[in-house]
A and B are shown apart, each in its own frame.
Chain A
């Protein structure tokens, strides 16, 4: 089997979890695992990756201090042409999504994005991904080719103990010219609000099921009697019903409260990623097939407008007693 290239992802001085996850996943497939690291002065990442890879290809150049998909694409395509791997794994992250399709078009390599499971049939990957917000799994068959590219959803593979000690090979930056048509400018931190939901003991998470912001008082009332803070899905934040600092999920906050009560939230993986570590998860949703029920401990399948006021009432009673 040909080599497997795994792109190391890092941001602001941190090697991101997806990098080691993919190295561990790749190790189960058979074939040499090559960690490809594009960075500037990130020797410690190279060493870390070496514990999980048979080889680390390391391009150390100021060009790669911050992520630029154009520079990444150029470097990767040069390294791929030179080393001819059979499979390339890239994180299905904000970085990976911004580059992988262009790389695939350039190299004429079949790409499947956002995979959640992977088997091999000889040299050919047989990935599984999801459709309809996680309601169905789709089993994909790739076109025959010499090389395939997959982007991998975070937490698809578990990180184990480092068992390898791959050779770290520093290679010259194959990208010679400066890229002028797309330039990194700066990072801007999300705004901090009045409540830090990552510190809350209990959260009532509100989703699009609430329909309109004028319905918010019913969940506010519930949160109040519980002594919980309000959190939200992205849909609620996009609509402007609750401020961005309340958003839970992949592009919001990761929370681990004692109780997460999801009200009218479908349970898209981008949301679930941010709250699945909660101690007790309860979901109220009228759709029995809502993915949120597969990670919740308790569920109520019903209309939230009927259940939530009753729940508030019952909690008041128990508190009074």
Chain B
């Protein structure tokens, strides 16, 4: 099995304050920590597990600047074989479609049985790339994949897609294909010390838009379906009543409220 895994580097915003920057179209990232997109981590693991079982090769691809190398190297350390980074000022402002075009241009001439992506990026939440990429490559796809089994002939896969309410939809799909991986499909490993050392020495091939045969008008904002006009802070209806005080006081207040409501 030859596999390609697309990984995105995203800021961790779940636990930190998010501030709109002066442009109004981006956020202040100076104090945020970054890492691999959550479901991409599961996608990497899935590819490596298949390689361990059936043999083959795992190529890691990421679109972004030099800072993405850290994320790429972590995937290499876990068992990825080689890596490509797509980097060009022309990629700035790309939406899911423009990213998919760049990825497709990089992937189309490679040999692959499965292209893995995450189901959705934690920052933009588009959930566009896997399905758009498959269409651009002209291969079948499935996204929200939470179960995967390569069937015996190695030409088909049994894929479980997770639907609302946790219902699983099973389908059979022909390879080559693109699969958008959902969190929870496996237990992502940690990279070993040895793996990290080896990955540090691996070459990451960098490709520009021109290297990919793409005109600047096809990528970035120019090649996107939509551009982000501006950010705003969501209007919250009625905010929670925030209980004030130290933990001793807030806990006492809450316990009192629960008592008044007849819950204790």
Contacts and interface: CB of A to CB of B under 8 A. Distances in A.
Interface of A: 11, 67-70, 92-95, 97-102, 104-106, 110-114, 129-143, 180-190, 202, 208, 226, 234-235, 237-238, 240, 244, 247, 250-254, 258-259, 266, 280-283, 286-289, 291, 293-303, 306-307, 310-311, 313-315, 317-319
B184 A234 contact: yes
B232 A139 contact: yes
9 contacts: A101-B97, A102-B132, A102-B141, A266-B14, A297-B240, A299-B240, A300-B243, A302-B247, A307-B247
B53 interface: no
Interface of B: 11, 13-18, 20, 27, 96-97, 100, 119, 122-132, 134-136, 140-144, 158, 160-174, 183-184, 187, 224-234, 236-237, 239-243, 247-248, 250-252, 254-259, 261, 263-264
A78 B175 CA distance: 26
A101 B250 contact: no
Given A69-B142, A140-B226, A226-B263, 19 more contacts: A92-B127, A97-B127, A102-B135, A104-B225, A132-B18, A138-B228, A138-B229, A139-B231, A181-B140, A183-B172, A186-B170, A188-B167, A226-B258, A244-B166, A287-B16, A293-B240, A298-B254, A302-B247, A315-B258
Given A101-B96, A234-B183, A293-B240, A251 B171 contact: no
Contacts of B174: 180-182
B169 A67 contact: yes
Q: Is the interface of A mostly helix, strand, loop or mixed?
A: mixed
Contact of B240 (A106, A266, A294): A294
B168 A188 contact: yes
A281 B263 CA distance: 12
A130 B234 contact: yes
B263 A258 contact: yes
B233 A136 contact: yes
A234 B56 CA distance: 32
A68 B96 CA distance: 23
Given A190-B167, A252-B166, A140 B227 contact: yes
Given A113-B96, A134-B234, A299 B243 contact: yes
Contacts, number: 263
B229 A139 contact: yes
B13 to A, nearest CB: 4
B184 A237 contact: yes
Given A134-B234, A185-B158, A298 B264 contact: no
B95 to A, nearest CB: 8
A182 B224 CA distance: 28
A139 B226 CA distance: 10
B173 A181 contact: yes
A294 B237 contact: yes
Nearest to A109: B225
Contacts of A234: 183-184
Contacts of A95: 163
Contacts of A202: 263
Contact of B132 (A101, A247, A253): A101
A111 B98 CA distance: 12
Contacts of B135: 101-102, 105-106
A94 B247 contact: no
A69 B163 CA distance: 13
- A-B pairs, top 3 by smallest CB distance, nearest first, are A310-B251, A299-B240, A314-B255
Nearest to A279: B261
A184 B264 contact: no
Nearest to A70: B140
Nearest to B147: A188
A111 B18 CA distance: 26
B166 A185 contact: no
